Amino acid sequence: MKRVVLGVAGASGAAIAMRIGELLSSLPDVELHLVVSEAGKRTIAHELGPDALGNLAKIARHIYSANDIGATIASGSFKTAGMIVAPCSMRSLAAIATGLSDTLLTRAADVHLKERRKLILIARETPLHLGHLRNMVTVTEMGATIMPPVPAFYRRPETIADIVDHIAARAIDQLDLGQSPLAVEWDGNA
Ligand SMILES: Cc1cc2nc3c(=O)[nH]c(=O)nc-3n(C[C@H](O)[C@H](O)[C@H](O)COP(=O)(O)O)c2cc1C
């Protein structure tokens, strides 16, 4: 089994977290480990409704409290195929960039960096100030991948679900799990 950690921070874009969770849990040999920040719980409820967090938790192999700093995913000895933070707030980005490890989410991200594993950050804020941009540069230099949740208009999305599907699938693609939950390859401008 390949373990994948999904961290959900309190930025806008809870639907992306939900879709990534659904797609990962649909892959036969992937085990989903979920950690949601306190602010993430709030944005999930605000954007998707009161039942959404419970629904996300149901499809995860394990859900951890963001305060549980002694959980398995806080240790490099717990092997994973990578971690996605979706969406990633500017607060969590700053904590990751400085190695703060103040919550289980930012600690798990720090572990992925120190173990040289994949760390994908769906960093969401707009507009960005220089501090945000510098933090993005810092985590990129440390090995993380910044993927802002930007729509691919060339795919002519018709619904928000189309946009969310594309962002979620592209993030999962970054983990190189050997299987892609949605066909996202561009076959040229035919
Ligand atoms: C409805 C809502 C939307 C938010 N959207 C964003 C956002 O898009 N980006 C961001 O960086 N922070 C956003 N915030 C603020 C974060 O939730 C806040 O900075 C929080 O401290 C982040 O904590 P965390 O990184 O532990 O999740 C939002 C807050 C709320 C309530």
Q: Is residue 179 part of a domain?
A: no
Q: Work out which ligand 1 atom sits closest to the CA atom of 47.
A: 1
Residue 181: pLDDT band (50, 70, 90) is confident
Q: Is residue 151 part of a domain?
A: yes
Six-digit token string for 59: 């499809």
Is residue 108 packed enough to be buried (19+ CB in 10 Å), middle (13-18) or exposed (0-12)?
buried
Q: pLDDT tens for residues 54-104?
A: 999 999 999 999 999 999 999 999 999 999 999 999 999 999 999 999 999
Taking 60 as the threshold, does the pLDDT of residue 190 lie above it?
Answer: no
Q: Whose CA is nearest to atom 22 of ligand 1?
A: 10
Domains in the chain: how many in total?
A: 1
Q: Is residue 21 part of a domain?
A: yes
Q: Is residue 6 part of a domain?
A: yes
Q: Ligand 1 center to residue 128 CA distance, Å?
A: 14
Q: What is the pTM of this model?
A: 0.97
Q: Is residue 113 part of a domain?
A: no
Chain centroid, CA 54 distance in Å = 18
With a pLDDT cut of 70, the percent of the chain lying above it is 97
User: For the domain that residue 71 is a member of, what is the CATH number?
Assistant: 3.40.50.1950
Taking 70 as the threshold, does the pLDDT of residue 146 lie above it?
Answer: yes
Taking 70 as the threshold, does the pLDDT of residue 164 lie above it?
Answer: yes
Q: Which residues contact 166 (CB under 8 A, 6 or more apart)?
A: 151, 152, 155, 157, 182, 184
Q: Which domain holds residue 29?
A: 2-107+124-173
* C-alpha dihedral sign at 13, 180, 119, 59: positive
Six-digit token string for 76: 């490099």
Q: Ligand 1 center to residue 190 CA distance, Å?
A: 40
